[in-house]
Chains A and B, each alone.
Chain A
Amino acid sequence: MSKWIPLWLHKLGSPPTFYRFAGAVRPWAMGLALLAGAIGLYGGLVLAPADYQQGDAYRIIFIHVPSAWMSMFVYAVMGVSGFMALVWRMKLAEVVAMESAPIGAAFTLITLVTGSLWGKPMWGTWWTWDARLTSELVLLFLYLGVIGLYHAFEDRRQGARAASFLAIIGVINVPIVHYSVVWWNTLHQGSTVNVFGHSKMAWDMLWPLLVMTLATKAYYAASLCRRARTDLLALEGGKDWVRQIAEAEATP
């Protein structure tokens, strides 16, 4: 690898170092996720006023929208690390890509189910084949495809590379999900929160949404740390450092 990459980053790429690093980061990330989640939900469910049009049903937004953002964010992370796995054959990039897939699938599933539970009282239907909903469903299938392809190979690293390739191709769906409400006429409402401009949302409702977004980001970091650690143990089963952990955690 190039010389401009600092030494600590090289070291972080080594499985035992990353195992320890992820183990140190995980409790903090999980703590932040739980704290921000508690504050965000209190703000969203208790402090925020009811919507003048949707009443209290809109409160699903505080989990639906952060989960939807995560479904795309995690896919982007998976695509980038999948690319790194294919180009530089980094074991850690393979691990991050493959262990992101179940977390992303979980957030996509939450998005679809909570969206359905929100759609029924507001639109009068659980499901409709409109652009936003359909592209989000395709996102779920892409995640499931990546997970399935990964596990279809006897050799895990070969499977990770094949699944990374599928993940990279599927990145095309992320902008489609994002712009679907702009490009097509859909039942789904347009964006209410705008990162670079004025958000069409009252502050009382906006801050819990942003805090919940932070909570889901921190949760992803924590879950990825746990999953990456577990995966490294599986991949490095023959190595000394894993044997030491296995023997240290032997239950009598």
Chain B
Amino acid sequence: MSAMQHLLAVGGDAATFFRMGGYAAYVWPAYAVFFAVLVADNVAPRLRRRRILRELRDRLARQAARERRAPSPSVTPSP
């Protein structure tokens, strides 16, 4: 049985389901907050990972360029 068929069998129709017995204004925002916060929790480390790797690549590129310009042993590699 599909979810919608079940709704029809149990709750009458989808509108009844979304009305939540008159508590729609409280139930649905609660679920929206739940999902919004967890999505944000997922996106934040993804963006951070991308930034960390980009900065690391930039640093490595700068280091490589510096070594090409002055390949003497006096040049200390950046930490």
Please list the residues of chain A having a beta carbon within 8 angstroms of any beta carbon in chain B.
42, 45-47, 50, 55-57, 59-60, 63-64, 67, 102-103, 106, 109-110, 113-114, 117-118, 120-121, 219, 223, 226-227, 229-230, 233-234, 237-238, 242-243, 245-247, 249-250
Contact = CB atoms under 8 A, between A and B. Distances in A.
B65 to A, nearest CB: 16
Nearest to B23: A57
B64 to A, nearest CB: 11
Interface in B6-43: 6-7, 10-11, 17, 20-23, 26-27, 29-31, 33-34, 37-38, 40-42
B26 A57 contact: yes
B3 to A, nearest CB: 7
B70 interface: no
B46 A60 contact: no
A246 B60 contact: yes
B21 A50 contact: yes
B75 interface: no
Contact of B53 (A47, A50, A110, A246): A246
Contacts of A117: 26-27, 29-30, 33
Nearest 8 A-B pairs (CB), nearest first?
Answer: A56-B21, A57-B23, A114-B30, A56-B20, A55-B21, A117-B30, A230-B49, A63-B34
A230 B45 contact: yes
Nearest to A225: B45
B21 to A, nearest CB: 4
B57 interface: yes
B37 A233 contact: no
B27 A56 contact: yes
B56 A246 contact: yes
Contacts of A46: 3, 6-7, 10-11, 17
Contact of B56 (A64, A230, A237): A237
Most buried by B among A50, A114, A229: A114
A166 to B, nearest CB: 21
B48 interface: yes
B16 to A, nearest CB: 10
A63 B52 CA distance: 33
Most buried by A among B6, B34, B52, B53: B34
Given A46-B10, A102-B44, A227-B45, A64 B20 contact: no
Contact of A229 (B3, B22, B44, B49): B49
A238 B48 CA distance: 17
